């Protein structure tokens, strides 16, 4: 696995036909998919707002490049990767290496305790201008980044031995019930249910919104 300033490289191989849940992480992934007995293809995933089930056939191999939160690439980039998948790291580093201000905007919204109004003020702009800016880039609205980042921060510390009430309070939720509602919204499971699924928690600790430079890395 490789963490670059603009992408996180990961891979997986399905040993049996099974459904896989993809959780919201504020990122889009370039996927190079090798289905069994079929032609390799390249695709760009959407932003997820809820858990998304994906069916993987036995023998499917995937190399993924998770793009920095808020980043995307256009069809010519995907076509170039499809023509020679070995060049994907270099192509992505070149084509999304020169970031605009979207990373700064998303970082401000994802800070612990952030509000949309506070993020706008820290960026020297208005809430309405911030909303228009994200919409103009075809990105989710400000609250998407703020609320998802908070839920992911809470999920990241679930493996600790703190009570769920303490986790809720330390990560900015009003109370445990509030955290539970947000977990069901984003991850389809309660905090207690996730705590009993360490593999899922490992997935939620991969580099993505709120912990792009984090050290916790695993394959999907």
Distance (Å, rounded) from C-alpha 109 to C-alpha 122?
A: 10
As a whole number, mean pLDDT of residues 196-202 equals 93
Taking the whole predicted model, whether its pTM rises above 0.75 is answered as yes
d(CA 130, CA 135): 9
CATH of region 2-95, choose from 2.60.40, 2.60.120, 1.10.10, 3.30.70: 2.60.120
Rounded to 5 degrees, φ, ψ at 198 are: -60, -30
User: How many CA atoms within 13 Å lie on the side-chain side of 198?
Assistant: 2
Q: Is the pLDDT of residue 2 over 90?
A: no
- Distance from CA of residue 174 to its chain's centroid? 24
- pLDDT tens digit sequence for 40-70: 999 999 999 999 999 889 999 999 999 999 9
Residue 138 neighbours by CB distance under 10 Å = 8
203 vs 167: CA distance, rounded Å = 19
Give the model's pLDDT for residue 218. Answer: 36
Contact 9, 65 (CB under 8 A): yes
14-18, 169-173, 214-218 — most confident range? 169-173
Report the pLDDT averaged over residues 180-188: 97
* Pick from 220, 150, 130, 219: nearest CA to 191: 150
Q: Helix, strand, coil: what percent of the chain each, to 5? A: 40, 15, 40
Closest of 106, 174, 171 to residue 137, by C-alpha: 106
Angle, helices 127-136 vs 102-110, to 10°: value is 130
HEC string of 103-152 equals HHHHHHHHCCCCCHHHHHHHCCCCHHHHHHHHHHCCCCCHHHHHHHHHHH
Domain ranges of the chain: 2-95
The tens digit of pLDDT for each residue in 94-148 reads 877 544 578 899 999 999 999 999 999 999 999 999 999 999 999 999 999 999 9
- Tokens representing 77 are 């980039």
CA dist list (Å): 192 to 161, 170, 177, 188? 12, 16, 12, 12
Residue 102 has a pLDDT of 87
């Amino acid at each position: 696995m490789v963490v670059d300033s603009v992408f996180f490289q990961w891979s997986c191989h399905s040993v049996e036909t099974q459904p896989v849940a993809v959780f919201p992480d504020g990122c889009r992934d370039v996927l190079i998919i090798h289905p069994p007995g079929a032609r390799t293809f390249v695709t760009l995933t959407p932003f997820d707002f809820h858990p998304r089930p994906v069916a993987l056939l036995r023998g499917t191999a995937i190399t993924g490049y998770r793009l920095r939160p808020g980043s995307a690439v256009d069809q010519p980039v995907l076509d170039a990767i499809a023509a020679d998948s070995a060049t994907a790291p270099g192509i992505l580093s070149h084509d999304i290496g020169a970031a605009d201000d979207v990373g700064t905007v998303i970082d401000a919204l994802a800070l612990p305790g952030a509000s949309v109004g506070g993020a706008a003020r820290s960026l020297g702009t208005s809430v309405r201008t911030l909303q228009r800016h994200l919409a103009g880039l075809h990105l989710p609205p400000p609250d998407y980044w703020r609320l998802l980042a908070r839920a992911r921060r809470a999920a990241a510390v679930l493996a600790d031995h703190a009570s769920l009430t303490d986790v809720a309070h330390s990560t900015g939720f009003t109370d445990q019930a509030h955290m539970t509602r947000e977990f069901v919204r984003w991850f389809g499971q309660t905090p207690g249910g996730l705590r009993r699924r360490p593999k899922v928690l490992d997935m939620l600790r991969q580099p993505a919104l709120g912990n792009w430079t984090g050290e916790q890395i695993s394959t999907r």
